[in-house]
Structure 1
Amino acid sequence: MAMTTTDHHRTPAAPRAADDGRDALQQILDDAVAAGITGITLRVRDEHGAWTGAAGHGDWEGATGAPPIDGHVRIGSSTKTFIATLALSLVAEGRIALDDPVGPVLPDLELDPRVSLRMLLQHTSGIFNHTGEYYPDGSVVPGIPATTAGREWVEHRFDDHDPRDLARLALSRPARFEPGTDWSYSNTNYVIARLLVEALTGETVAAAMERRIISPLGLTGTLQPTTQTDVPAPHARAGFRIEEDGAQQIIDVTRQNPSWISSGGDMISTARDLQTFLRALMGGQLLPPALREEMLTPRPTPIPGSGYGLGVFVEDLGAHGTVVTHHGGAAGHGALMAITPDGSRVMTGTMNYVDDAGLSLAVPFQRLSQSLVRAVFAGEAPAQG
């Protein structure tokens, strides 16, 4: 469904259920665990007040009890919302314009001169995805050994990957389409956005993130690790399943070097911090109104009812308005982020699970996020059975 540039001004109406819907939310969490997700936590703030819930365990062996409500997790692609906000803060300062070509700032990459910052943040550059391209006909063109590579990724999960090398690998492959002519999700767009931030500020992306977002908002549980391998306590454990000679083995991958995904998905945070960040972003604390409007102006995507702005999905809930989201997963850890444009209703959460090369939990993850968004922002009860 194509969305107009005014759709993002609509805020979902209050849920229709007579109660506050908390029992339905808990049921969805329980159902997610039954579908294979090891542990999940959720934070909701709406007209009924604040609520937290949890289900499952903090590890696949069931030995650690429920996952910590505000435990640290790798937030995967939810990182993109942070990186987009960081880049847009430089636009606000006049260091670059959204439609300026990126090439002159990063001449060593020899980018197509048509590629702009807007195209990077909105996934319309056409640049190959360095973690692999998936095509509608089911074919896959591999990039670096990402989590889909199974044992190879597990064995090399502590390797260092230079972001410029990731970008150069992607740029050495044929573009998916001409810049600005289509939409395709590519982690490499955000690796290049990171390099742009570093070139314009003279700082590492970690230092820029700390100074511009993390420290001002008091996000004490949020890190931009780049290559650091540890996740601060408390945290649930992330697992990865591999198979060899017919036998399965689960490897603890909580500790890993996230430079393979770089700023496309390397950050660590908590449900509480994610909520603080989203409310500040929608409340105008991080960007001026005009750039916030640009961020929330969606471009249609192949996903029904969902457009992509600048670092955020803008989902159309019909009569219930729109909701701004960006969930993420990263090899056994995941995050949920969703908020109304006016900030009156917000949902964040964390997940831990056992990943595998077949991405067997991708569908349960998608169903979970969709069910929670529909329940929190449209008042829909979960399906029975």
Structure 2
Amino acid sequence: MKRIARLPALAGFALALFAAAVQGAAPSAGAGPQQRLQAALPALLAQQRIASVSIAHIENRRLVFSIAQGEAGPGSAATPATLYNVASLAKPLSAETVLRLAARQNVDLDEPMYTHWLDPDIAGDPRARLLTPRLSLSHRTGFPNWRDGKLAFQQQPGTRIGYSGEGFEYLARFVANKTGTPLDQWAQQLVFGPAGMQETAYTRQPWFDGRLALPHDGDGKVLPLQIRTQALASDDVFSTPRDYARFLIALMQGQGLTPALAAERARIQSDRRADFCKPPRANDCPQEIGFGLGWESFLIDGRRYLLHTGKDEGTFTLAYFSPDSGNGTVIFTNSNNGAQAVLPVLDLIGQDAAFVALLRRMAG
């Protein structure tokens, strides 16, 4: 299991330097977002020492463009077909798989998991009987992000947020044991297949060959690439932004869920407003902020936004969508500096201004 520190979706913005200025060739007057990005990205990547960025953008629940700029590896140009490690953007994929299993009544979001999986490290701890799929999906298991040799509770399950990859891995073991089928196989059947996602996988596939973006450190040095042979629910899925955009569109279309379950995905399960809205943010705080099921959920001026980021060594990724506006954007990079591309890219796209303004305040 990885020991790399991961950034919770929201905290990742607070720690990253997003205020990178976009300099270089100016797009022509009246240019659309795709043309603005094509003109500005070369200078942005050079300025911030980002190896490559690949972007897919959605408007009105339709994929309107997918572009890539920079190098997937030395001498190899990134294209919209380049596969990136999405890091913690694996979690929304796994969360959606569990929600669709709940829609089929294969699992219940509030059933105790100990009946089908009980980690030996916590078998003697009565708190293990409190764990449910809902607590894993909303980061309230009480587990750390990753165990330090042995799994242990840091706090009482269900009491407060504690971002945890271990919680997702625990849930995956429960699903596999209860249903007799691994979570990644369910994802292929219930999520990837129906959404038309043919460029996303939890484990190494023959079609990976020649398509992989290599991770880079902040100085541009190529880092070792890790590809799983056994799936993780929380990390190391490979995908393209355009395929991940197909996933977001499927969510906005309500694919595979009852309306009640689709609403549960966005409903605040773990409220962060009291912590986030302290001075100096008290006067410009969103109406709602916290974790839903697999996503961080915001309500700003009556409009809902769902967000997640991913960060591994040499990788930064982001995806957001608004089920109300029908817009969304996916940004994948293969660089430790990748977070510095986010605000410039979103500014150039020019959608969902209130949400982008919130991200800017968080980064300020």
| Coarse TM-score class (shorter-chain normalised) | 0.7 to 0.9
| Aligned position for 1:120 | 136
Given candidates 249, 254, 270, the residue that maps to 1:279 is 249
Percent of residue pairs bearing the same amino acid type? 21
Paired letter, 1:233: G
Q: Do 1:114 and 1:179's aligned partners in 2 also have CA atoms closer than 8 Å?
A: yes
Which of 287, 307, 323 is matched with 1:341 structurally?
Answer: 323
TM-aligned CA deviation for residue 286 of structure 1: 2.4
Q: Write the distance in 2 (CA, Å) between the matches of 1:170 and 1:263.
A: 17
- Tell me whether 269-278 or 89-98 shows the greater mean CA deviation: 89-98
Alignment of 1:73-88 (within 5 A): 73-88=84-99
Alignment correspondent of 1:36? 49
Shift of 1:257: 3.9
Shift of 1:30: 4.4
| Separation in structure 2 between the aligned mates of residue 30 and residue 336 of structure 1, nearest angstrom | 21
The verdict on how the C-alpha distance between 1:321 and 1:129 changes in structure 2, with shifts beyond 3 A counting, is: same
Contact 1:282-1:343 at 8 Å conserved across structures:
no
Task: State the shift of 1:28 in Å.
Answer: 6.7
| Residues 60-119 of structure 1, C-alpha deviations (whole Å, 9 max, x = no match) | x5x223x11231111111110111111112222223322222111213542621122111
- Equivalenced residue count is 308
Q: Give the TM-score normalised by structure 1.
A: 0.69
1:211 aligns with 2:189: yes
Contact in 2 for aligned 1:231/1:254 (Cα 8 Å): no
CA contact (8 A) 2:86 2:237 kept: yes
Deviation at residue 20 of structure 1 after TM alignment: 4.4
Q: Distance in 2 between matches of 1:321 and 1:371?
A: 22
Pick closer, same or farther for the CA change 1:314–1:346 going to 2, 3 Å: same
1:222 Cα deviation (Å)? 0.8
2:304 maps to 322
Which letter does structure 1 place at the counterpart of 2:292?
A: G
Distance 2:33 2:177 in 1: 47
User: Do residues 309 (structure 1) and 282 (structure 2) align?
Assistant: no
How big is the shift at 1:256? 3.9
Q: Shift in Å at residue 337 of structure 1?
A: 1.4
Q: Measure the CA separation in 1 of the matches of 2:188 and 2:209.
A: 17
Other structure's SS at 1:71 match: coil
Q: Distance in 2 between matches of 1:19 and 1:49?
A: 18
| TM-superposition CA deviations, 1:189-238 (whole Å, max 9, x none) | 1101111221122012232222222222221111121x779944323222
Is 1:104 the counterpart of 2:115? The answer is yes
Q: Which residue of 2 aligns with 1:94?
A: 105
For 2:212, the equivalent position in structure 1 comes to: 235
Which residue of structure 2 lines up, in the alignment, with residue 50 of structure 1? 64
| Candidates 217, 236, 239, aligned match of 1:269 | 239
CA contact (8 A) 1:86 1:213 kept: yes
SS at match of 2:130: coil
Mapped contact 2:316–2:332 kept (Cα < 8 A)? yes
2:333 is aligned, of 347, 351, 360, to 351
**Alignment partner, residue 313 of structure 2:** 331
Instruction: Tell me the residue number matched to 1:185.
Output: 163
Alpha-carbon distance in 1 for matches of 2:297, 2:101: 23
Describe the shift of the 1:199–1:344 C-alpha distance in structure 2 as closer, same or farther (beyond 3 A): same
Are 1:297 and 2:259 an aligned pair? no
> Which secondary structure state, in structure 2, belongs to the residue aligned with residue 264 of structure 1?
coil
- Secondary structure at 2:202's aligned position in 1? coil
SS of the aligned residue for 1:112 comes to helix
TM-score, scaled relative to structure 2? 0.73
The whole-number CA distance in structure 1 between the counterparts of 2:174 and 2:325 is 29
Structure 2: state its 5+ residue gaps. Answer: 1-29, 278-285
For 1:185 and 1:229, the matched residues in 2 are separated by 33
The alpha-carbon distance between structure 1 residues 126 and 197, as it changes in their structure 2 partners (threshold 3 A), is: same
- CA 1:251/1:122 → structure 2, altered by over 3 Å: closer, same or farther? same
2-structure distance, mates of 1:325, 1:237: 25
Match in the other structure for 1:170: 151
Secondary structure of the residue that 2:76 maps to in structure 1? coil
| 1:25 Cα offset (Å) | 4.6
- Residue 55 of structure 1 aligns to a residue whose secondary structure is strand
> RMSD over aligned Cα, in angstroms?
3.4
Q: Quote the Cα distance in structure 1 between the aligned partners of 2:206 and 2:305.
A: 33
